[in-house]
């Protein structure tokens, strides 16, 4: 099968799944669709049938690169300043405190665990531990949809989950972007290596300049098909430039989406164009992630199990502590953090991007932890969110 035909089959299957299979599975079995595409990628990859060979995966590398940038842009468009000012500050404070507590918990535990397990220094284990902390922070917005169907979009818990998912995604993307900037290799022949701050600013600048140029040349365009083509081209340009410089296409995409949504008068049309293929792109990225997985039982069992346990404890405990600290525990309930356990596209994007960074250590462990977490949470997160919604609805009924 040729490269073009393979790509066509993957895209067609993903579109079919996004429009039919995923919705039916989610409604009937109360699961967040995604785990089956990881499993499909594993079956098609070199570890099983070998249909997706390493050479074929390498030739199709621009496609997951587009998915990384696309996920980042969608994340950036969620931070429209005109809409953000209408949300109470305490909602953002709870989200940021929960993100900080989750990141700190997972990073600290994995830092010492990796250092002890592999008898290496903390500085060597640092990039992997920090990246796992960033992955732990990310939460899926799909569970927000589950809760909102039971409580309505005006419920305080639903609004908190929406904001928390957005803040989690931004925090995870920003942390990983800083990791690639901090551990960036100096370019050959450079008179002076750039600092971490300079690489980070350059990453943001790539997305910011791309957003401004798009707004400058296509801002008045209203036709959704033309907007879609232009967006795809712009995202490919920004993502490709970031990948060429060994920076984060995901974080550059966030900056691109933020500038775009706050400078364009056609925000609704742009978001609609982005969402047209969000789910199919995510499903294809999951297939690629499964095919790229290289398991090694001796290397990853203990760190991955620790990551799963630490993330669950950090999310549930961090959410409860954040709500208690800021006085929202009676409104959100003591177990609202269970609705944040779903991983989402940001986690997969970070895992795939980290695996492609040849200079960073423990790539297989980071990637395996990501896949294991996505597989586990996709099967359980919707049920947890459903239980949180039912518990809060029951409390509200008793109060009235």
Segment 279-288, tens digit of pLDDT? 888 888 888 8
Q: Is the pLDDT of residue 164 over 90?
A: yes
**174 vs 218, more confident:** 174
Domain boundaries, the chain: 40-55+64-185+193-399
What digits encode the pLDDT tens for the residues 332-363? 888 888 888 888 889 999 999 998 887 888 98
Percentage of the chain exceeding pLDDT 90? 34
pLDDT at residue 395 greater than cutoff 60: no
**In the predicted structure, residue 14 carries a pLDDT above the cut 60:** no
Q: Is the pLDDT of residue 321 over 90?
A: yes
Burial of residue 330 (CB within 10 Å: 0-12, 13-18, 19+) is: exposed
What would the mean pLDDT of 29-46 be, rounded to a whole number? 69
Alpha-carbon gap, residue 123 to 218, rounded angstroms: 46
Q: How confident is the model at residue 32 (pLDDT cuts 50, 70, 90)?
A: low
Predicted pLDDT of residue 175? 96
Confidence of residue 2 (pLDDT cuts 50, 70, 90): low
255 has pLDDT over 60: yes
Percent of the chain with pLDDT over 70: 82
Q: Is the pLDDT of residue 40 over 80?
A: no
Identify the band that residue 106 occupies on the pLDDT scale cut at 50, 70 and 90.
very high
Residues 237 and 206: their CA atoms lie apart, in Å, by 9
pLDDT at 325 over 60: yes
So what's the pLDDT on residue 326? 93
Give the pLDDT confidence of 111-126 residue by residue, as tens digits.
999 999 888 899 999 9
Q: What is the pLDDT of residue 27?
A: 53
* pLDDT score of 201: 94
Average pLDDT of the chain to the nearest whole number: 82
Please give the pLDDT value at position 291.
Answer: 84
CATH topology of domain 40-55+64-185+193-399: Na+/H+ antiporter like fold (1.20.1530)
Supply the pLDDT for residue 205.
94
Compute the distance between CA of residue 231 and CA of residue 376 in angstroms, rounded to an integer. Answer: 33
pLDDT at 142: 76
pLDDT band at 308 (very low <50, low <70, confident <90, very high): very high
- Rank 34-38, 199-203, 209-213 by mean pLDDT and report only the highest: 199-203
Location of structure tokens 């050959």: 188
Instruction: Output 298 or 307, whichever has higher pLDDT.
Output: 307
pLDDT-derived band of residue 71, with 50, 70 and 90 as boundaries?
A: very high
């Amino acid at each position: 099968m040729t490269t073009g035909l393979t790509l066509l089959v993957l895209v067609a299957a993903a579109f079919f799944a996004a429009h039919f299979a995923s919705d039916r599975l989610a409604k009937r079995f109360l699961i967040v669709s995604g785990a089956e595409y990881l499993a499909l990628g594993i079956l098609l990859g070199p570890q099983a049938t070998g249909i997706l060979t390493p050479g074929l995966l390498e030739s199709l590398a621009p496609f997951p690169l587009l998915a990384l940038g696309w996920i980042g842009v969608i994340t950036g468009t969620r931070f429209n300043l005109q809409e953000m000012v209408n949300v109470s500050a305490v909602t953002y404070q709870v989200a940021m405190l929960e993100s900080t507590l989750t990141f700190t918990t997972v990073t600290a535990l994995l830092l010492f665990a990796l250092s002890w397990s592999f008898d290496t220094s903390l500085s060597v284990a640092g990039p992997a531990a920090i990246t796992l902390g960033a992955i732990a922070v990310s939460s899926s917005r799909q569970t927000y949809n589950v809760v909102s169907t039971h409580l309505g979009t005006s419920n305080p818990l639903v609004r908190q989950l929406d904001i928390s998912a957005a803040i989690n995604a931004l925090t995870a993307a920003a942390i990983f972007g800083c990791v690639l900037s901090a551990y960036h290799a100096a370019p050959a022949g450079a008179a002076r290596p750039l600092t971490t701050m300079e690489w980070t600013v350059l990453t943001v600048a790539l997305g910011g300049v791309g957003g401004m140029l798009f707004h400058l040349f296509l801002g008045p365009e209203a036709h959704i098909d033309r907007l879609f083509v232009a967006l795809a081209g712009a995202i490919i340009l920004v993502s490709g430039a970031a990948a060429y410089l060994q920076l984060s296409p995901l974080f550059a995409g966030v900056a691109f989406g933020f500038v775009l949504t706050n400078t364009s008068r056609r925000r609704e049309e742009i978001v609609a164009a982005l969402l047209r293929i969000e789910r199919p792109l995510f499903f294809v990225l999951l297939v690629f992630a499964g095919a790229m997985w290289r398991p090694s039982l001796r290397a990853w069992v203990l760190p991955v199990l620790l990551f799963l346990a630490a993330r669950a404890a950090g999310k549930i405990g961090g959410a409860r502590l954040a709500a208690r600290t800021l006085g929202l525990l009676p409104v959100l309930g003591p177990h609202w953090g269970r609705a944040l356990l779903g991983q989402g596209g940001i986690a997969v994007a970070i895992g795939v991007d980290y695996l492609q960074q040849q200079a960073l250590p423990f790539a297989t462990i980071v990637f395996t932890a990501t896949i294991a977490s996505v597989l586990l949470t996709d099967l359980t997160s919707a049920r947890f969110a459903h239980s949180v919604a039912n518990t809060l609805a029951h409390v509200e009924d008793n109060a009235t």
